[in-house]
A and B are shown apart, each in its own frame.
Chain A
């Protein structure tokens, strides 16, 4: 385990921890962006280059910006008024701690972990493209459909309902 791996892992986990615990929402979103870039660096160290670049493009470049826009559109950029925690937060943290202990114990003591490390796989763009077009073409088409539906759905849900009001606003501005 190289020092790069350890540092990247620590940065990712710190980013995630800060993302969940800071009071100011915009700081949380920025810490989340740091966590995502840490995960992209981990992907690059696991020889999954295409996935690492796609992670930065999708998560840091799009989802983080989307979350920041939503924070600003719902006026949550200011400091929160009372407690930021729900009523049952202690139970939640206890359950998550138990979850991590169970997963950690399973990982460390499992007999299904392979002992030797296989050589680095050849995940060139050509191979990924071939796989997407031959073996995984059905998921590819379905994901196209899903993304179109999600896009149209998100626009319709977030659209302003009062078209009368918006027309009069535009008339006044022009």
Chain B
């Protein structure tokens, strides 16, 4: 197994773990952790293809990952602000109980 396939397998497994956690856990923050793991898996995929694919000197994959990290940071900040706001209203962070649109 060449290094590219090893990296891609690790990234696929990381994505699957993140997805399983985001779907199977009740707490909102754990869903967010799952989403961050999925984003990291995608970034790892991009860097692996940048390193082992054609034209690594064009730095396309590299820059893509930098912007993806910035976006992940912004999204984590907004997501956590939302979770805090929801907790303030509903006094719970259990996703099963936040199922009504009535404020």
Assuming A96-B19, A139-B67, is B74 touching A150 (CB within 8 A)?
A: yes
| Bitwise interface map of B from 44 to 70 toward A, beta carbon under 8 Å scored 1, else 0 | 100110111110110100110111011
Contact A28 B33 (CB under 8 A): yes
The dominant DSSP class at the A interface is helix
Closest to B73 in A: A58
Q: CA of A114 to CA of B4 in the docked complex: distance in angstroms?
A: 9
Among A25, A50, A121, A146, contact of B57 (Cβ-Cβ < 8 Å): A121
Task: Point out the residues of chain B lying under 8 angstroms from A39, CB to CB.
Answer: 14, 40, 43-44
Residue B71 is within 8 A (CB to CB) of chain A in the complex: yes
Residue A7 is within 8 A (CB to CB) of chain B in the complex: no
Q: CA of A32 to CA of B26 in the docked complex: distance in angstroms?
A: 17
Given A20-B21, A32-B33, A92-B23, 17 other A-B contacts at CB below 8 A? A1-B3, A28-B33, A32-B36, A48-B50, A54-B66, A63-B36, A67-B80, A71-B29, A86-B23, A93-B20, A96-B16, A117-B4, A146-B74, A147-B70, A147-B73, A154-B81, A155-B81
Cross-chain pairs A/B with CB under 8 angstroms, 5 sampled:
A1-B6, A20-B18, A73-B84, A93-B24, A114-B52
